[in-house]
Amino acid sequence: MSAEADAICGAGYGQRSDERVNSRNGYRQREWDTRSGTIGLAIPKPRQGSYFPNWLLTHRRRAEQALVSVVATSYLLGVSTRRVEKLVEQLGIRQLSKSQVSEMAAHLDTQVEAFRNRPLDSGHYTFVWMDAVTMKGREHGRTVNVHALIAVGVNADGQREVLGVDVASDEDGAGWLAFLRSLTARGLAGVRLVISDAHAGLVQAIGAALPGASWQRCRTHYLRNY
């Protein structure tokens, strides 16, 4: 807004110039209500004529989307909804509730689902690592331990790539078998070696879902356990 006001005046704020055709005359305060909260704006006033930012007339799309992106990125990095609320307060936004933060980050769900269900038929993944990570999750209104099943493969370019992630209530053979079958249904092929810990259910699931693939015990898990 300051740059637009300078363009109207023909010179920068407080700048002496022969090209100046107008000057500033303070500001008028306006509260900008968006779905993301309320933002206090100081709109520059020219001494002659009037000025109102055109982008405010386009239903707040550009600025609001930038704010949504900041909130969603913070959410993605693990910042709690309460801390996100405090963060945007420093940006001049009031009345941003925890439910609004969750709603603004909801569009990430579609991106996650697209990533989890993307085809894996672009090439063979010769080597695949598998492991489970125990973490806290919300289930039926209470916090419980869940297991994130993760598969990482080496793609045709020699780079590691996360092939899939799934969440199971228990790390058992049935969960691993369902996870592996979902990977093969998406096109996982050409696996010659799978590296994992010695979880009996996982080893059996590998033999059932990836026939012909060899299995090797993960050295890190072996050294940690022994």
Same domain, 123 and 86: no
Mean pLDDT of 173-193: 93
Same domain, 100 and 122: no
Same domain, 77 and 9: yes
pLDDT at 222: 56
Same domain, 14 and 96: yes
pLDDT at 102: 73
- Buried b / exposed e along 202-217 (16+ C-beta atoms within 10 A): bbebbeebbeebeeee
CATH assignment at residue 156:
3.30.420.10
pLDDT at 88: 73
- Give the least confident one: 34-48, 65-79, 170-184: 65-79
User: Is 162 part of a structural domain of the chain?
Assistant: yes
**Final residue before a domain boundary, out of 51, 77, 104:** 104
Residue 203 and residue 149: Cα distance in Å, rounded? 14
Which position has the higher pLDDT, 152 or 141?
152
Residue 124 clears pLDDT 70, i.e. is over it: yes
- Count of domains observed in the chain: 2
User: Is 178 part of a structural domain of the chain?
Assistant: yes
Residue 106 clears pLDDT 60, i.e. is over it: yes
Extract the tokens encoding 42.
């100081």
Taking CA atoms, 139 is separated from 60, 168, 213, in Å, by: 36, 12, 35
pLDDT-based confidence at 180, cuts 50/70/90?
very high
Residue 134 clears pLDDT 50, i.e. is over it: yes
Cβ atoms 195, 130 nearer than 8 A:
yes
Residue 124 and residue 181: Cα distance in Å, rounded? 16
**Final residue before a domain boundary, out of 52, 75, 104:** 104
Smallest CA-to-CA distance from 163 within 204, 126, 110 is with 126
Residue 81 clears pLDDT 90, i.e. is over it: no
Same domain, 75 and 140: no
Parent domain of 212: 118-225
Extract the tokens encoding 180.
């592996």
Same domain, 71 and 168: no
Maximum mean pLDDT: which of 5-9, 65-69, 121-125, 221-225? 5-9
User: Is 111 part of a structural domain of the chain?
Assistant: no
User: Is 112 part of a structural domain of the chain?
Assistant: no
**Average model confidence (pLDDT) across the chain:** 84
Residue 8 and residue 223: Cα distance in Å, rounded? 70
pTM: 0.60
pLDDT-based confidence at 84, cuts 50/70/90?
confident
